[in-house]
Structures are given as C-alpha cells and as structure tokens.
Structure 1
Amino acid sequence: MKKSLFIAAAAAVPAIAMAQAGVDVAHLSELGMRGTARFMSMGGAFTALGGDLSTLGQNPAGIGIYRSSEVGITLDLNFQSFQASAPSMTDTHNQTRFNVNNFGYIGTMKLYSEATPTFSFGASYSRINSFDRVFKGNFNNLGGSSLSNYVAAFTNSLNPMGDGYSPYRDVDLIWGSNYNPYDNAPWMSVLAYNSLIINNGQENSNGQISFQGLMGDGTTGSANFDIREKGHVDEYNITFGGNIYNTLYWGIGFGITDVDYTQWSYYGERLSNAYLSVRTDEGPKDLYYKDVPGTASYGLTNYLHSSGSGFNVKFGLILKPINEFRIGIAVHTPTWYSMTDTYWGAIDYNMLPDNGLLAPNGEHYKNETDNVVANDSYDNFHDYHLRTHWRIMVGAAGVIGGKAIISADYEYRGANMQLSDVNNNEYVDVSDEIKTYYKGVNIFRVGAEYRVTPQLSLRAGYSYESSPVKQWVANDGENIQFAGTIPSYSFNKATQYITAGLGYRVGRFAIDLAYVNKHRESTWHAYSPIVAEGTIVMDSPQATVKSNYNQLVLSLGYKF
C-alpha cells in the first residue's frame, strides 16, 4: 500500500495546539437583523430615521427624535428550516423557536429651550443574533479522502523541519496519567493515535515517525455527520441623546453584551479494505501490527460551549436640513469580551481485521473496539479575551407627500478581530488566521412605509449582507487551521432578508406586525482540504447548508 501522498503533503497541513482557532471564534461576532416589528418590516433601514426602540442598538442619535416617552415589547415566532446537501444526499430539519426580541423604555424631558428642546434617555434589551442550527447527512463515497489521513498529515506537519516526520514518537502519543496537552502532542493527535485511526509508519534514525492514516490504495469508504448548534447574543443598551434646534440630533449609547454558544458535532467514517493497526489475542498488549487490511468504523464526537460578556460604545448623529429629508451616521466600537470555552472530544472505534489473517506469531488478529475521550471524562475549559470589529453605518431617509417614507442604509463591518489570554497577551497566530480567512462585510438596507390612514401604515424592506469569507479561501485555496479536537468548520455566503409588515395606532397605543424571511447558504467542511502551492493535494468532504428562517414578529408600544 502506498501512502507517500500524505507524507509529502504533511508540511502543507496547518497545526495549532490552542483551544481556539480563527474559525472557532469568528462566528461569535455575527449579528442578525433583530428589533421591533416596525424596524424589521422596513429592513432595518433606520440609521437616518430614528424614533424607534431598536435604534438604541443601531444609531443612538435616533433617541433624539423622540418628543415623548415610550415603553414597548416585541415577540418573535421563528420557523426555521435547514437543508444539508451533498452528492446523492439531501436532508432537511425543521424547528420552531419563540423569543422575546426586544423590550425597552425611553424617557424624554422637555428642556423648554430653543437651542436644546429635549433630552432623552433610554434602556433596552435586544436579542441581536441566534446561533440555532441543526443539520445532518452523509457522504456515500469519500473518494480517497479520510479524516484519519488528514490527522496523520497534521501530526507530521508539526515538525518545523518539514520533512514529513512528526516531532513526536509513538510513546509521546500514548494517553496516560502523566500526559500534559500543553507540553506534549496536540489533543487531536493523541486522541487519534489512542483510537487506532492513525498508526506508525516509517521511522527515521532519530526515532521520529511519519504517522499514517487508515486510507490507502484500494480503500473505499463512506461518512455521516450530525451538527447541532444553539445559542444567542443578547445586548443591553443604555442610551442618552437630544436635539439641537430640531435640526441636529445626537446620541451616545453603552452596550453590554452576553454571548452563549453550544455546538455538539459528530463525524463518522466506515472504511473497507482499510489499513489497520491491531494486535493478536496473545502477547504484549502494546504490540501492534500496522497495515493489516480490514474494516474500520469510527466516529468523532465533540462538544463546545462558549460563553462570556462584553461591552461596547456607540455614537451617532442625524441631520435634518429640511423636514422632508434626513441623513444619519453611527459608529460602533469593537465589543470587548471576556470568554470561557468548555469542551471535550471522544472517538468510538471498531477495527475488524479480515477473517483468516494470521499474525507472524501464528495468532489471529484481534478485533479492536473501544471509546477514547480526549480529556478523560472531564470537561476542559479555557478563559480568553476577544475583541470584535468596528462598525460604521450611514443612511438617508425622505418623506414624500407627508404620507410615505423611503429609507436606505449602508453599513461596513470590519474583519479584524483579536484574541488574547487573560493577561492580554495576544494570540497573534489566531488573529492572523482571521485576517487571512475573512474580509469586511458590506450591508445594504432599504425600507419604505406608506400611511394609508392616520391609524394604518403598510411597510416593506430588504437587506443584503455580503459573505465575510474571502473568495479564494471559500474556494478551498487555503489550509484551514483547527484547534483542540474540532477539525470541522463552516463558511457563510451572503445573507438576504425580505420583509413586510403593517402598523396600527390607536391614541397612545401602537401595535405592529412584521413578516421576515431570512435566507443564507453555508459550506460545511468535515476538515480542511490539504493545499500545497495552490494545488489541492487531498480534498475534504463538504456539504452545502441552506438556512431559511420565516419570522412572525409582534410589537406592542405605548407613548406617554
């Protein structure tokens, strides 16, 4: 059996022994379009409009538009559908979620001054993103790619000499009470070796080994996956603002964020004519034989829980040169998070040598079945600091005939994020990964409202958010680093929102309804392809995931 392909490619495989990689933390900065029903039904295009509870989290200058006080609450019923597609396979999962999207209070004081007529202050809660997603599927033909071979190449790539030999000996990968993941080999390598999905290959004069996976010439196989994500990002805003001569409106807001994300993932392979590493029924239990043909069946299970809190500051201005036209601008600082990750990984495996094979000592090879946990039945944890990107948004809005409003926004979200330890020592490699994989996001929002009667208004909107992933990275042009025992990752494409709604006013009371359709496609990878000098040496199983959300939103408000 020939495995030189994976040995030669070893130097191209990324390696990291930390608890986080760029792809593990980038999604924590994602934001959705959430807020009141009026805000959402107009596509969130409120940078220049203001006068809504949602603007406390968008353009704080919107609080200066208020001439009276308001209290309100928003409820959200979300019908979610996730479809995973791979060659010869499509699987759909549906679920329904109910949330309180937003509630808040704005108090306005009249100052009885021509220069500064009012001053307002407000407090609000908003769920600004949801991580809920469930998808699963299978790959009927792995086509020469296997997680075991990827991990073997990854383990070999840790040698700075780049000669295809791992800096570790086999004894360095054996799990025991003295194992220290911060001093020894990475968890994924140890987990794979103790689960028999990588084994000893060639050995050089220094005792270094070029580890090998289970797939080689003549090996065929299939795989299945199951991914379950849940969680949210909540934000609490305290905002102050006012207006100058009823022409210039200003605001400053302080945001406190709470993030909670959980991922449970499973990826399994079944290989025929695999090259196993098993032992005989007799003899030393640490005596293994490599390259024994047979059937290999194994599954990698991972659990990750990320939680933390952070803060940010928002500044905004709205200029109304004439009553029929407004322009707005807002700047959001990065959010500074203090985070904790809790995680574990495990592999269950079943190695079945071909019947009738005899070892050199004349004994039959032994079936190997077990379950290995990377951190030996306890949850590991890691504390760190995370700084997200800056945000800047501009908008314009016009009033037509006293009955119609048209509003448009543009927002730019940067790509730079920074990860550091609790002593603020930056993890430069992870920050550089994020710069390598991701780019700034461009967001366009448009909305319209038409007042049919003094009480009834109709609304519609649209929002487009570009992909945060660089195109050449999305096209498998880069080796993607991973951390811990989670080699899988997901890259999002563009996100679109189509919205509509209506509002009804009765005296001081208001009721608003909205329908929101959100659609996004992502590409999920079981592990990174191996890329050397711009050429894919070993591909990886990947699936297209279509996420479709249909939301019914109800807001109740009272002005006084």
Structure 2
Amino acid sequence: MRKLLILSIGLISTSYIMAQDITDAVRYSMDEIQGTARFRAMSGAFGALGGDMSSININPAGSAIFNSSHASISLGVFSSKNDISYFDGNNSSSNSNVDLNQLGAAFIFKNNNTNSGWKKFALSFAYDRSADFDNDWVASGNNDNDNSIDSYFLSFANGNEVPFGILKLQPGEYLEEAYVDIGRIPENGYAMQQAFLGYWSGVIDPNNLDDETNDNETLYNSNVASGTINHNYSYSSTGYNGKLAFNFATDYNDRLFIGINLNSHFINYEKFTSLRETNSNNSSLVNDVVFENLLATTGSGFSFQLGTIAKLTNELRVGLSYNSPTWYRISDELTQGINSNIAEDDISYISSIINVYEEYKLQTPSKITGSLAYIFGQTGLLSFDYAVKDYSNVKFKPTSDVVFSDLNNDISNTLDSSISYRLGGEYRYKQISFRGGYRFEESPYKDDNFYGDLNGYSLGLGYNFGNINLDLAFSQSERDYNHELYSTGLTDAAEIESKYTDFTLTLGFNL
C-alpha cells in the first residue's frame, strides 16, 4: 500500500530543466493588444492610422500623427465562456475580471524652423496588456479509449528506461528527499520524478517487483486494469502578459512618419490542473487516483519595432511595420501532488516540494504588418491591416540542450505561418463617433482542426468634449481548440468552444 500527498510547505532548488511543450511556445508567442476603446472598437486596424496610444504597439510611427501631446487610460471588463466536451461528458464555464489594460502618453515637440522638412517628433510611453491568461473550466466523462493516467507515468518510466534502483528509498531516506534528489539528476531528472510519482502512488510497478536484485529493471507495468475509466479534469489559470513600449517617432513634411519602439515585456502566469480518475473494474488494484500540478511562471523580455506611415494623398495612407522576435528569460516553479486508493498506512503525509527550475530562454517569432487607410475628411475613415507571423520559428534556448533541440524540432513540424487581418471603420457626426470592426487570425498550428482560427467583431462609440474624449467599445471573438490533458501518455483531448467578450472604457486627454 502506498500514498504520496504533496502540500505547499517546502522549497528546493534544482539546476535542471522541466520538460516544456508546444503549448508554452504558443501561449507566450501570441499577443492581442487589448488597448484603448477606440482601438478595440475598430478591431485594432490602426497600422496606417496612428493617432491613438494603442496604435503605437502596431506601428511605432503612429505617435507622430498626433498634432498635440496626448494621454489616455483604459479600463476593461473581460469575460470568457467555455463549452467543454470530453467523450460523453459536457460542461460549461464562464469567468470575468476587471483590469487596467492600457495607459500611455505621447509628448509632441514641434520644430519651429520653417526651413526644415522635419515638422515634429514624438516621445511616448505606452503600457498595454497583450494577453490575459485567466481561464477556468472542467472536463469530465468516460474515456472511450480506455486510456488511464497510467499511460502518463509509463511513458516516462519506459520511454526513458528509468532504472528501478533510482526510485527506491535509501536506508533512512524519506520520500520527499528521494523526489528532490532524483530531480537533480542532470539527464531526465524531471522524467524520473514522474516515474517516481507513478511508482510510489502505486499506479505502476516494475517487472520482478519482489526480486531484490532488480535495480537495473527498466520495464514497468500498470496496476490499472481495463474498465470504465472516468476522468474529471479541472483547469485553472491566472495571469497576464504585459508590454511597456518606449517610443520615438518623427514627421517629415507631413507626408512621411517614421518610428521605433523599444519594448519591455513581462510574464506572470499560474496554472493549476487536477485529474480525478476512477475505474469501475473492482479487480483493478488501482481504481481511484488524484494527480495535481501547480505551475508558476515568471519572465521578462525585450523586443523592438520599426515602422513607417506614408501619406500618398491627403486621403490615402499606407503603413509598414516590423516586430522583432521577443527574447524572453523565463523561470518556472512546479509543485506536484498525487494520491491513490492503495496507500501505505505508515505514510500519511509528505511535505511540499516546489521544484525551482533553471532559467531558460524563449525566442518568439517576428511579425510583419502592412496597412492601408482611407480618410474621408472629417467625416470618417476605413482601415485595413494584414500581418504575417511564422510560429514555426519559435525557439527554446539553449538550443544545444537535447530536450530543447527535440522540442524545437517538434515546433517546426507542428506549428506554421499564420496570417491575420483586421478591418475597421469610423463615422463621425458632430462630436459623436460610431465605430466598428472585424478581425480574423489563422491558427498557429498546421492542423487547424486541433487549434482553430479566431474570428471576432467589434462596435464602439466616442464623444469628443474638446480636449477630453470618452470612448466605449464592445468586442467579441470565438475560437475552438483541443486541450490535451497531458503532453505525453494521456493525450486525449477536451474539445473546447471559447467565446471572449470585453467592454472597454477609455478617457483621453489632449495635453
């Protein structure tokens, strides 16, 4: 009888890397500037327009469009609704939160030298929330593939040929001490820890378990018999990805606008997953398992942007911008817990172990955006942005690391180039502005049935009080995707239909 229960008490450090997966690469490579209400109302189609604090994050030349210094602050109410299917089970969930999603100011300095073509330049800073990680849902149902959590642990134990002797306790050694020591092994420390959890929870056993000379045994079997396997999988994540842009832009003869951004990025992410597995087969040695994982991630990064806007005529503008890759430095902490129905009576409690992993690097893909805008005098405008980003260029570093090298190859084979386009329009009547937009973003995966395209639309209103403007926007988008319970072994996926809705309110000032 075995039992292993890990709670939040202790802290250990290790210099070896936890296994990452492709979902991490996608999560930190996708960005969606939440932005000002005007920006949101027009679905972010601002690459050739400028004149909005959030437009600076699309094309850094946009700050030079301002005629006078400007500042804005935005609050948003962000909601998500998920419909989840897992084999014969269906669930739904919803959550919402209120956040400061934008803050920025542009300071305009005009050149009084009439002989110079350089009319003005702008210095700006802009904070925008570029991703919201808040999500909460449950997937439950009977696994029709007769696939159990045992396949997760067997994939690590058999797939990495873990010698059974490593999983044994030394004289006087506690389980938590052994778990820590195994995690420090340079090669496959994380994989061996998973095998350790599988064995001490009773889910798997080595061949020749009763043979005292079986230290070199590398073949493991399951203690879960075939039967009706029910899964109840809970997923909860919180956090955000933020971006702070320091901007310089200039205006040449009111025809050509050029800008550069130096961007600071920061990640704050926490994910908790819990799987409860039950087996209706009474002859199964293990028929009740709970497996929990808590991942906390922090990171910081740097990128730059170059952009230009050209007025071909007084009405027609074109824009072009380049977003460099973002170079992140990321740190992970992982806490794991497992329990099963075959618990040893003399093992009732094991203190928490927070695995603190060595910092690693992540390089996200670059992006190129081309834009067109047509201005109907003081009446209104139409704007269109088209962007390309190749997600297969994501790289975990150091690339010389065997684990990262294999993962980068998987990324190249699984992810693809993604296009996105945004269309926005605005009609002005006296002090009131009416706005709308549509956006589309291709899946970053080659298999868009696994992770679908995103479609969204937006509406908004604005009122100009003179030196103050008040804007309100509503936007909604949808995406269907599959979420694999685990990246190896138990890879059966929950099918999720997600709908994202937000309301944004912005107060802007001409300084």
Whether TM exceeds 0.5 here: the answer is yes
Q: Distance in 1 between matches of 2:399 and 2:107?
A: 38
Query: What does residue 534 of structure 1 align with?
Result: none
3-state SS in 2 of match to 1:273: coil
Given residue 420 of structure 1, which amino acid in structure 2 is its aligned partner?
K
Given residue 257 of structure 2, which amino acid in structure 1 is its aligned partner?
Y
Q: Distance in 1 between matches of 2:364 and 2:348?
A: 38
- Tell me if 1:181 matches 2:183: yes
Query: What does residue 136 of structure 1 align with?
Result: 138
8 A contact 1:194–1:372 mirrored in 2? no
3-state SS in 2 of match to 1:469: coil
8 A contact 1:499–1:516 mirrored in 2? yes
Query: What is the Cα deviation at residue 371 of structure 1?
Result: 6.9
Query: What does residue 554 of structure 1 align with?
Result: 505
Higher mean C-alpha displacement, 421-430 vs 149-158: 421-430
* Higher relative contact order, structure no. (Cα contacts within 8 Å, ≥ 6 residues apart): 2
Q: Is the alpha carbon distance of 1:45 and 1:451 closer, same or farther for their aligned partners in structure 2, counting shifts above 3 Å? A: same
Q: Deviations over 1:233-288 (max 9, x none)?
A: 1111110111111111100111111110000000121113377xxxxxxxxxxxxx
3-state SS in 2 of match to 1:240: strand
Higher mean C-alpha displacement, 148-157 vs 58-67: 148-157
Given residue 212 of structure 1, which amino acid in structure 2 is its aligned partner?
N
- Tell me if 1:377 matches 2:352: yes
Query: What does residue 501 of structure 1 align with?
Result: 460
Query: What is the Cα deviation at residue 214 of structure 1?
Result: 3.2
Q: Distance in 1 between matches of 2:346 and 2:507?
A: 59
Query: What does residue 255 of structure 1 align with?
Result: 263
Given residue 520 of structure 1, which amino acid in structure 2 is its aligned partner?
R
3-state SS in 1 of match to 2:427: strand
8 A contact 1:195–1:372 mirrored in 2? no
Q: Is the alpha carbon distance of 1:328 and 1:371 closer, same or farther for their aligned partners in structure 2, counting shifts above 3 Å? A: farther
Q: Distance in 1 between matches of 2:141 and 2:315?
A: 58
Query: What does residue 194 of structure 1 align with?
Result: 200
Query: What does residue 155 of structure 1 align with?
Result: 157
Q: Is the alpha carbon distance of 1:205 and 1:553 closer, same or farther for their aligned partners in structure 2, counting shifts above 3 Å? A: closer
Query: What does residue 515 of structure 1 align with?
Result: 474
- Tell me if 1:214 matches 2:223: yes
Q: Distance in 1 between matches of 2:334 and 2:302?
A: 25
- Tell me if 1:328 matches 2:319: yes
8 A contact 1:521–1:546 mirrored in 2? yes
- Tell me if 1:120 matches 2:79: no
Q: Distance in 2 between matches of 1:385 and 1:371?
A: 39
Given residue 37 of structure 1, which amino acid in structure 2 is its aligned partner?
A
Q: Is the alpha carbon distance of 1:558 and 1:24 closer, same or farther for their aligned partners in structure 2, counting shifts above 3 Å? A: closer
Query: What is the Cα deviation at residue 101 of structure 1?
Result: 1.3
Given residue 463 of structure 2, which amino acid in structure 1 is its aligned partner?
Y
Superposition pairs of residues 258-297 of structure 1, within 5 angstroms: 258-273=266-281, 293-294=284-285, 296-297=287-288
Query: What does residue 234 of structure 2 align with?
Result: 226
5+ residue gaps, structure 1, are 1-15, 159-166, 276-292, 352-365, 476-490, 531-538
Query: What does residue 397 of structure 1 align with?
Result: 373
Q: Distance in 2 between matches of 1:528 and 1:75?
A: 36
Query: What is the Cα deviation at residue 462 of structure 1?
Result: 0.7
Q: Distance in 1 between matches of 2:280 and 2:155?
A: 21
Given residue 174 of structure 1, which amino acid in structure 2 is its aligned partner?
K
Query: What does residue 466 of structure 1 align with?
Result: 442
Q: Distance in 1 between matches of 2:433 and 2:417?
A: 36
3-state SS in 1 of match to 2:24: helix
Query: What does residue 390 of structure 2 align with?
Result: 414
Query: What does residue 343 of structure 1 align with?
Result: 334
Q: Deviations over 1:218-245 (max 9, x none)?
A: 4332111100011101111110111111
Given residue 399 of structure 1, which amino acid in structure 2 is its aligned partner?
I
Q: Distance in 1 between matches of 2:56 and 2:251?
A: 15
8 A contact 2:229–2:280 mirrored in 1? yes
Q: Distance in 2 between matches of 1:65 and 1:508?
A: 17
Q: Distance in 1 between matches of 2:157 and 2:104?
A: 52
Query: What does residue 164 of structure 2 align with?
Result: 170
5+ residue gaps, structure 2, are 1-15, 170-174
Q: Percent identity?
A: 27
Given residue 264 of structure 1, which amino acid in structure 2 is its aligned partner?
F
Q: Deviations over 1:355-403 (max 9, x none)?
A: xxxxxxxxxxx98796787xx6221112112221111101101123641
Q: Deviations over 1:470-519 (max 9, x none)?
A: 21xx66xxxxxxxxxxxxxxx64222221000111121111111001122
Query: What is the Cα deviation at residue 334 of structure 1?
Result: 1.0
Query: What is the Cα deviation at residue 47 of structure 1?
Result: 0.4
TM-score, with length taken from structure 2: 0.87
Q: Is the alpha carbon distance of 1:138 and 1:104 closer, same or farther for their aligned partners in structure 2, counting shifts above 3 Å? A: same
Query: What is the Cα deviation at residue 19 of structure 1?
Result: 3.9
Q: Distance in 2 between matches of 1:301 and 1:116?
A: 60
3-state SS in 2 of match to 1:434: helix
Match of 2:484 among 520, 525, 528: 525
Alignment: residue pair count: 477
Q: Is the alpha carbon distance of 1:370 and 1:263 closer, same or farther for their aligned partners in structure 2, counting shifts above 3 Å? A: farther
Q: Deviations over 1:69-107 (max 9, x none)?
A: 111111111232222222332222222210111111111
